[in-house]
Amino acid sequence: MRLSRYFLPVLRDVPKEAEIVSHRLMLRAGMIRQQASGLYSWLPLGYKVLMKVQKIIEEEQNRSGAIELLMPTIQSADLWRESGRYDAYGKEMLRIEDRHEREFLYGPTNEEMVTDIFRTYVKSYKDLPLNLYHIQWKFRDEVRPRFGTMRSREFLMKDAYSFDLDKDRAVAAYERMFVAYLRTYARMGLTAIPMRADTGPIGGDLSHEWIILAETGESQVFCHRDLLDKPIPGQDVDFRGDLKPIFNDWTSLYAATEEMVDQAEYEAAVPEDKRVSARGIEVGHIFYFGTKYSEPMKASVTGNDGKETIVHMGSYGIGLTRVVPAIIEASHDENGIIWPVSVAPFEAVLVNLKAGDADTDAACDKLYAELTAAGLDMLYDDRDQPAGSKFATADLVGIPYQLILGPRGLKSGEVEIKHRKTGERETLPLANAVERLKGLIEPQRMNDI
């Protein structure tokens, strides 16, 4: 992408309405624009990151055996009356009436709708297990929308729903999602810790919140330090096999949010030098809730004994539009964002130090074509602007590598690479630039961890 032809409205000044660093940086880097309280447009750079996050989530959901579909944002009130949640949900639900005075709502979650789909089509135990997910906008009329897209009113969520014949099988489905989540966050460059959690209005008796440690987090959390650098199950993990050993291994180390923590239990379970008590951001939440929805909504299958059996369900959420600022909270410095390669809006930026100079332009154009042909996701800063301002923009928007070429380098046949994360610089022959950059970037894509 040529920056001269792109839409990247970076802000020079620090917006004063933004209280936390990720919100400030998302505004300054031209990623989002607030349209009304808790409602955001995702501008091209932000949208590109959001879609990279989405792709990782889809790949790992699919790998685990979940199947993607798409349900509407607007749902009928009657469906929610069946589960009893229409009245129970309260003011967070945005209620809508159509021209025929029929009652609708903007979905805050989809347990009812997916259960309706299930009961319509699935009749036999032979069709189980089943896990259906979608990535769709949700609306919750939060009392206090804040911190940009971290807590907005309209937000993008991946929500998966599992259906099984009995509790044991439903717990196995839960364990599959648990392992899929470990891999998903790791691929985004995040350390997300599963913590025992309260089930809240979704209900149920087995639940984990996925927490990123960050000072600006809204919840207080308590865990064992070894969870912070525990190796993640590899891509060869068998989702058709028994994942209980992995689940047990992870959950054997203490981790709980403040609603669930028992101070005495925590202190007994974790030696003093291993205790981490910190602030955390909830980037995902998984639940097993048995027959809470399938019972009132009559979602059952015929078992192999010929009897009708109410199915056991779980639901599994990831807030995509919260994950993006959470990554920034975890990875930035005083100059701006530092994207992990796997979710970076561009993997590298080619900085033309003298746009308008015929030789430099020709050399940069050629290099840009080669880099793009090599499969690198490139931004090309071809604007006629001072070098300092180009570097500042590249740092601010957090592109992992800067490849710098100007008339002087051209004369000596050399380019410079700056590593955004470490600040390290290397000078190398122009002819080696594509291979070197590929070598740096490819292993960090984490497609095959």
Binding residues vs ligand ATP (CB under 6 A): 140, 142, 151-152, 155, 157, 200, 282-285, 317, 319, 321-322
For 150, which DSSP code? G
State which residue, 293 or 391, has the beta carbon closest to ligand ATP: 293
State which residue, 104 or 293, has the beta carbon closest to Mg ion: 293
Contacting Mg ion (CB under 5 A), which of 187, 285, 292, 383? 285
CB of residue 315 vs ligand ATP: minimum separation in angstroms? 9
Question: Helix or strand or coil: residue 221?
Answer: strand
State which residue, 148 or 280, has the beta carbon closest to Mg ion: 280
Tell me which of ligand ATP, Mg ion, none is bound by residue 142, counting a contact when its beta carbon lies within the kind-specific cut-off of 5 to 8 angstroms: ligand ATP
DSSP string for residues in 89-119: TGGGSEEEE-TT--EEEE-S--HHHHHHHHH
Instruction: Give the residue at shortest CB distance from ligand ATP.
Output: 319
Please return the burial class of 350, using the count of CB atoms within 10 Å of its CB with bins 0-12, 13-18 and 19+: buried
State which residue, 129 or 203, has the beta carbon closest to ligand ATP: 203
What residues contact residue 241 under an 8 Å CB cut-off, 6+ apart?
Answer: none
CB of residue 368 vs ligand ATP: minimum separation in angstroms? 36
Stretch of 114-122, 285-293, 390-398, 435-443 contacting Mg ion, by CB under 5 A: 285-293
* Two tokens, residue 445: 């894509």
Residue pair 330/23 in contact (Cβ under 8 Å)? The answer is no
CB of residue 92 vs Mg ion: minimum separation in angstroms? 13
State which residue, 157 or 355, has the beta carbon closest to ligand ATP: 157
Stretch of 115-123, 167-175, 250-258, 277-285 contacting Mg ion, by CB under 5 A: 277-285
CA distance 23 to 31: 10
CB of residue 256 vs ligand ATP: minimum separation in angstroms? 15
CA distance 115 to 103: 20
Tell me which of Mg ion, ligand ATP, none is bound by residue 140, counting a contact when its beta carbon lies within the kind-specific cut-off of 5 to 8 angstroms: ligand ATP
CB of residue 150 vs ligand ATP: minimum separation in angstroms? 6
Cα–Cα distance list, 189 to 29, 192, 287, 331 (Å)? 20, 9, 24, 9
CA distance 12 to 123: 59
Name the maximum alpha-carbon separation found in the chain: 81
Tell me which of Mg ion, ligand ATP, none is bound by residue 356, counting a contact when its beta carbon lies within the kind-specific cut-off of 5 to 8 angstroms: none
C-alpha dihedral, 431 to 437 to 443 to 447, nearest 10°: -110
State which residue, 29 or 157, has the beta carbon closest to ligand ATP: 157
State which residue, 311 or 318, has the beta carbon closest to ligand ATP: 318
66: left (phi over 0), alpha (psi -120 to 50) or beta: beta
CB of residue 285 vs ligand ATP: minimum separation in angstroms? 3
Determine how many CB atoms are found less than 10 A away from the CB of residue 219. 16
State which residue, 93 or 440, has the beta carbon closest to ligand ATP: 93
Instruction: Give the residue at shortest CB distance from Mg ion.
Output: 285
CB of residue 347 vs ligand ATP: minimum separation in angstroms? 26
For 144, which DSSP code? S
Contacts with Mg ion, residue ranges (CB under 5 A): 285
